Amino acid sequence: MKDIEEEYLTFVVRHYKAHKYDPNKAFKKFKKITGSNNNIKHKTLRIISVAASIAIIIGVLIVYNYYEKTKNLIVVASAGQCKTVKLEDGSKIILSPYSSFTYNIVEMEKGDRSVKLIGKAFFSIHHDEKHPFSVDGKVGKVKILGTVFQVDEQNKNTSTVYVVSGKVYFSGLNSNKGVLLTKGMKATLTGNKRKPLIVSSGNINQTAWATGVFKFNNTPINEALGDISEYYHVNIIASDTTKCISGEFEATNMNDVVDLLESTLGIKIQINK
């Protein structure tokens, strides 16, 4: 604290100019504006002048403090499409459209691996046991060492976390009561809850927007088509719902995905836009 005070004092002294904040001039102007008469005691005016000078110095300190806190902030935002960013430690973050995250580049280089997220993002975090990584949203907070996961706060007052690999600790932004999530687990937290609600079986295809890949493991065709429909924002129906599908499919062109499923399973698929 003492070092901070000395730093502020040095800043004020460095930028102070003689007679720039002259109390006597300020009082004369004050009397002229207010029409004060000579009955106001000089001592009272002196007190007011000192207070005014202190207020000016405090204002300078506030502005300086704000500048110091924000000058090293990096803001990364996506527009109408996904955006991939690689951090200094090798971690990768993929932002969903109209999302953003902020971090302090100097603190990140020192080992304080933390970001503030608005919206939705997919994280692939470099493992560093001595320097945990954390994500602060508007609702929830996630702490990890090194893993792959997704944080979604696109729905108002709700935070959802899905873990692809590794493990994370998920809690409310201002709460220590959280849950430990491992591979394949999902949890949701609403603003009025003290602890996230666990959904043990998350769906890997909810990350297809970031990975560009659909993954199926003996998945019923209706369930698979549900994932694909959600991704492309259409309604896809199969002629035979008894089939199951396994494998990985690139989430590129919708018609190519449908053609591949039809030829692989020997079925007809209808697309309703």
pLDDT band at 5 (very low <50, low <70, confident <90, very high): very low
Model pLDDT, residue 267: 94
| 187 has a pLDDT exceeding 50 | yes
- Could you tell me the pLDDT band of residue 176, with boundaries at 50, 70 and 90? confident
- Residues listed for the chain: 273
In this prediction, residue 199 carries a pLDDT of 85
* 242-260 confidence digits (pLDDT tens): 999 999 999 988 999 999 9
Rg of the chain over Cα atoms, rounded to whole angstroms, equals 29
Average pLDDT, the chain: 82
Q: With cut-offs at 50, 70 and 90, classify the pLDDT of residue 163.
A: very high
Nearest to 143 by CA among 112, 105, 104: 112
Nearest residue to 97 via CA among 232, 210, 257, 220 = 210
The backbone region for 181, taken as left when phi is positive above 0, alpha when psi lies in -120 to 50, beta otherwise, is: beta
Q: What percent of the chain has pLDDT over 70?
A: 74
Task: Quote the pLDDT of residue 201.
Answer: 82
More confident of the two residues 149 and 192: 149
d(CA 18, CA 16): 7
Is the pLDDT assigned to residue 172 strictly greater than 90? Answer: yes
Query: pTM for the whole thing?
Result: 0.71
User: In what helix (H) or strand (E) does residue 142 lie, and over which residues does it extend?
Assistant: strand 140-144
CA angle 156, 224, 120 (to 5 degrees): 25
> Cα separation of 270 and 225, whole Å?
10
232-245 pLDDT, tens digit per residue, is 999 999 999 999 99
Residue 132: phi and psi, rounded to 5, are -60, 155
And the tokens for 26?
């300020």
DSSP code at position 192 = T
Question: Could you give the CA distance from residue 106 to residue 113 in angstroms, rounded to a whole number?
Answer: 10
**CA-to-CA dists, residue 168 to 111, 151, 182, 191, angstroms:** 19, 11, 7, 20
- What is the Cα 204 distance to its own chain's centre? 21
How far is residue 119's CA from residue 140's CA, in Å, rounded to a whole number? 12
